[in-house]
Structure 1
Amino acid sequence: MSIARVAGTLAAVALPLAWSNVVLPRLGLGVRGRTAANAGFATGYGLALREGPNWRSRGGVGYGILAASVVTAGYGAALALPSVRRFVGAIADRGPDVSTVEWVAVHIPIGTVYSEELVFRGTLDPLLDKAFGPRAGALLSAAAFGFWHIAPARAAGDSVPATIAVTTVGGLIFGGLRRRTVGAAAPALLHLAMNAGGAVAPRLARRLEGSFRER
């Protein structure tokens, strides 16, 4: 690999990390501003690198719906079990500045899923696969996805090492789906189900617990 190509690939990895952990936090935007800024950055990044997310890959939607259904069923089972439901209900809200409907219908699909899937699975994954091969590319992209979450973890008061570890594993899973379906649709649908379920489940759990206490 030429020096120019190595430098270009490293810049492609570094740019999203600088955006998420340095530039975006310093803009001081509210949740709506962050959603718009993230979507704008992701769109520009994807257009500049021209890899293409291939949202309509053959089988991508089917695999994505299947994976999302499994996650949704898992959330349903958690809400049905009293001990697990109480644990889920104790999880803090992640979208305190907006309504649940707005959070789930706008900010998760656009600010998180669209932005992150376009940057990582739609653009960086294929770029790194071409540069380093599928195995090394998968590891590098997943690690970058993990480090993308440093500033969000700090803002939420979460453990940074734990967040990096969990999101890196998530990046491997999402990347595996992208490689299997040759597109970003399947990981995007799984990502949406996980994040939307994570936003809705704690609130549903608290309502269910409250209704049981009133009986």
Structure 2
Amino acid sequence: MSSHPSRRRLLLVLGAVLIVLAAVNVADKYGPPHTGLIAGPVVALALVLLARRAGLTWHDLGLSKRTLLPGLKYAIGAIVAVGIVYAVGVALPWTRPAFHDVRYHLHLSAALMTAFIVVPLGTVLLEEVAFRGVLLGLVNRHRGATWASITSSVLFGLWHVLPSLRLNHANQAVGAVLGTDAAGRVLTVLGVVAFTALAGALLCELRRRSGSLLASAALHWATNGMGLLIAAALTTVRFA
């Protein structure tokens, strides 16, 4: 008899989280510039409060003090690993075009602000709290780790549909491979959803192994923030 209320509660809280995230996604895409910089921290806090009210513990959310040190160790390792991969990617002529992205034609000050303020607060904080914190913890509590990882990762992939709509125009390598017409846009969106879903699964596993959101947040920031800085640096060198 107790499974029905548990399932109903899961669906209600899950539905509320998804509605909030959908609204933020649309506002970030079509709202004023840097909407996510304000909405990200506010919504992240609201989702944590909602999750706590739904019965999740700090450990369920990856925010326990006990897992802070393991999370820090994984975080440092993740940043170093991404740095090595990106260094190799820049050094090789056939992978360097992947870093040529018109979205990151920024001056040094703007690139630093974006990498160290906009990305952590406007992107990483909300996405990690939402997908590897609240959603992962919620589904894990009611349906187990496997379903939690699948649900979180699929939703994380779908979260990137709107941001990827013009990626085949913005990124030189993507446009060259998939094309810049309507078919290329469809292929780009499908590719981004699939890639980010797989990335989400990796982030979920890092979160599970470390027990801390700090680990997945570090990998997430390193992938976005360091990639942005490298793209901006390459642009500066090209047009210097």
TM-score with structure 2 setting the length: 0.76
State whether residues 20 and 149 of structure 1, in contact with CA within 8 Å, keep that contact through their aligned partners in structure 2: no
Aligned pairs, how many? 208
Matching residue within 27, 32, 39 for 1:29: 32
Alignment of 1:103-122 (within 5 A): 103-122=114-133
User: What is the letter of the counterpart of residue 209 of structure 2?
Assistant: R
CA change 1:202–1:59 in 2 (3 A) is same
Shift of 1:92: 2.5
The yes-or-no answer on 1:127 pairing with 2:138 is yes
Alignment of 1:33-72 (within 5 A): 33-50=35-52, 51=56, 52=58, 53-54=62-63, 56=65, 57=67, 58-72=69-83
Matching residue within 198, 206, 215 for 1:177: 206
State whether residues 13 and 144 of structure 1, in contact with CA within 8 Å, keep that contact through their aligned partners in structure 2: no
SS in 1 for 2:95: helix
SS in 2 for 1:29: coil
The yes-or-no answer on 1:19 pairing with 2:30 is no
Matching residue within 72, 82, 85 for 1:74: 85
RMSD of aligned alpha carbons: 2.5
Percent identity over the alignment?
Answer: 27
CA change 1:84–1:55 in 2 (3 A) is farther
CA change 1:210–1:83 in 2 (3 A) is farther
- The one-character-per-residue Cα deviations of 1:65-121 (angstroms, maximum 9, x if unpaired) are 101101011111222234433x14532224869811111111101111111111111
Q: How many Å separate the matches in 1 of 2:88 and 2:28?
A: 37
Aligned counterpart, 2:12 = 8
Q: How many Å separate the matches in 2 of 1:128 and 1:14?
A: 13
Shift of 1:145: 1.0
Gaps of 5+ in 1: none
The yes-or-no answer on 1:92 pairing with 2:95 is no
Larger RCO (CA within 8 A; separation ≥ 6): 1
CA change 1:95–1:106 in 2 (3 A) is farther
CA change 1:152–1:113 in 2 (3 A) is same
Query: Please, which moves more after superposition, 94-103 or 66-75?
Result: 94-103
- The one-character-per-residue Cα deviations of 1:150-176 (angstroms, maximum 9, x if unpaired) are 222236566322221111111101100
User: What is the letter of the counterpart of residue 15 of structure 1?
Assistant: I
Matching residue within 194, 200, 204 for 2:223: 194
CA change 1:166–1:35 in 2 (3 A) is same
State whether residues 36 and 122 of structure 2, in contact with CA within 8 Å, keep that contact through their aligned partners in structure 1: yes
TM-score with structure 1 setting the length: 0.84
Q: How many Å separate the matches in 2 of 1:155 and 1:43?
A: 30
User: What is the letter of the counterpart of residue 32 of structure 2?
Assistant: L
